[in-house]
Amino acid sequence: MASLVPIDQTDPLKKPVNALAIVAQNKRITVLGRKIYNVMLCSAQAQGLDKTVYKSLLKDIVSGLDYESNDQELIKQHLRTMATTTVEWQSPTSGEGRKWTVSGLIAHATLENVTGQTWLTWSYAEPMKQELLDPSVFAQLSLSILAQMHTHAGVALYEICSRYKAIGRTARQHWRWWQPVLTGQPASDKLAKVEYRFFKRDTMKKAIAEVCAITDLDIELVEYKEGKFIADLQFLVRAKVQASLPLRSPPKPIDLSIIQDALKIGVPDEKTEELLAAHGEDAVKAGLKTLEKRIATAFPEPLRDSYRYLKAVLVGEQIKEAASKPTAEEQKARDEAEMLQKQSAAKSGWHDEWLRRRNEQIVNMLEEISEAGIMELEQQLDAFLIGTNAHPSIVKRLRASGWTHPLVKHLMIDFYAKGTIGEAWNVPSAAELLHIASQAG
């Protein structure tokens, strides 16, 4: 296969307005999928409108894979989603753009191994090809900025706001219009039931913070009411004074190594994407190392759920990081307290208070599990209790009233915590006890 013309590094991605506010019709669009799509689009624009299909070395689109036949399943999944996800192509401004179209993100994709190198070939639906590859109205985007973002909502909001940087404000749309655009989720009964306050808390606030922290834009949400309720939303857009769009940044391949590493130890790729969005790459990498050690030890029993354990580890680390770093004076006081706590922790009640909070954390985790998941856990606990010759009345209470019964609750907490966090889930560190002591005054 002949070499391709190098991508023109002087041009950033020109994303047409109709591709900014796409709405999925049948499958969720993930942040990784959107990033990969942007790199492919930039490559296709560099190759030119006159081609029927577009080609690139797979390593120039994604990195972190070994490119063995089994290892390619992850990228195949993303390409499969692009080809089968139906989207509405629409501009963020009503009436802007040449037309409204519904089609797939790409028309087809092929992976082919030629002389030891894997090539990706793809094409676009004919009705959208002209607009995608030679747009007349577009947003100028930096792929290097997009590569640093973690959430689909953040990526989508950055792309839309970039379109209006010169104008100073986005179009005004109803918040229900923004909901599928930012979440990447198709319309559903579940999505329709989400109230505005939860959409703002869980999606918009995080996206706004991400755009302001990472990109060359500062944005501000403006809300418009109809009566007592929020109806329309708009974003004020300002370019940062000392930031400018990098015009000489070639498209970098999207790193799938963390997703691949997580898959190898039993964490589904979509769950890993969620954890990356919530905790960042460094935290997930560290959490995966902890998970690998737990799987290797298989003590006191094999790990039942890799994802649940990884999530618990990351939540625990997040809580620790929330505390401010101690000054030298505070560290000295903590060192002295660490010596004292070994002698007086039980007397002062630090341990009891820490354990109470730890139990609350485990209960909150249990309450987040689906009904089917709880039923499975109760069945596992039932078998465990019978195997350890527990008193028949306890087993009876579990079967009749579930894990929340007072006689059973502490057993479920211990059973679940050992499986997700580890055998020492109820053993606090010296720093954790000192934190309790400092709060107690």
246 within a domain of the structure (yes/no) = no
Q: Are residues 291 and 226 in the same domain?
A: no
Q: pLDDT, tens digit, for every residue of 24-45? A: 888 888 888 899 999 999 999 9
Q: Are residues 88 and 163 in the same domain?
A: yes
Q: Are residues 315 and 332 in the same domain?
A: no
**Of 190, 210, 239, which residue is a domain's last?**
239
Long-range contacts of 335-338 (CB under 8 A, 24+ apart): 337/434, 337/437, 338/430, 338/431, 338/434
Q: Are residues 306 and 409 in the same domain?
A: no
Q: Are residues 23 and 169 in the same domain?
A: yes
**Of 211, 239, 267, which residue is a domain's last?**
239
6 within a domain of the structure (yes/no) = no
7 within a domain of the structure (yes/no) = no
128 within a domain of the structure (yes/no) = yes
| CATH number of the domain that residue 76 is part of | 1.10.10.10
Q: pLDDT, tens digit, for every residue of 170-224? A: 999 999 999 999 999 988 888 899 999 999 998 999 999 999 988 999 999 999 9
The pLDDT of residue 158:
95
Q: Are residues 312 and 332 in the same domain?
A: no
357 within a domain of the structure (yes/no) = yes
Residue 169 — very low, low, confident or very high, per pLDDT cuts 50/70/90? very high
| C-alpha distances out from residue 395 to 7, 359, 375, 383, 385, Å | 67, 21, 14, 9, 7
247 within a domain of the structure (yes/no) = no
Q: Are residues 287 and 429 in the same domain?
A: no
> What is the sign of the dihedral through the CA atoms of 287, 292, 293 and 299?
positive
Q: Are residues 172 and 53 in the same domain?
A: yes
The pLDDT of residue 328:
63
Q: pLDDT, tens digit, for every residue of 122-157? A: 999 887 888 899 888 889 898 888 888 888 999 999
Give, in degrees to the nearest 5, the angle at Cα 85 between 192 and 125. Answer: 130
146 within a domain of the structure (yes/no) = yes
248 within a domain of the structure (yes/no) = no
What range defines the domain where residue 292 resides? Answer: 257-322
* Cα–Cα distance, 219 to 239 (Å, whole number): 9
Assess whether pLDDT exceeds 80 at residue 351. no
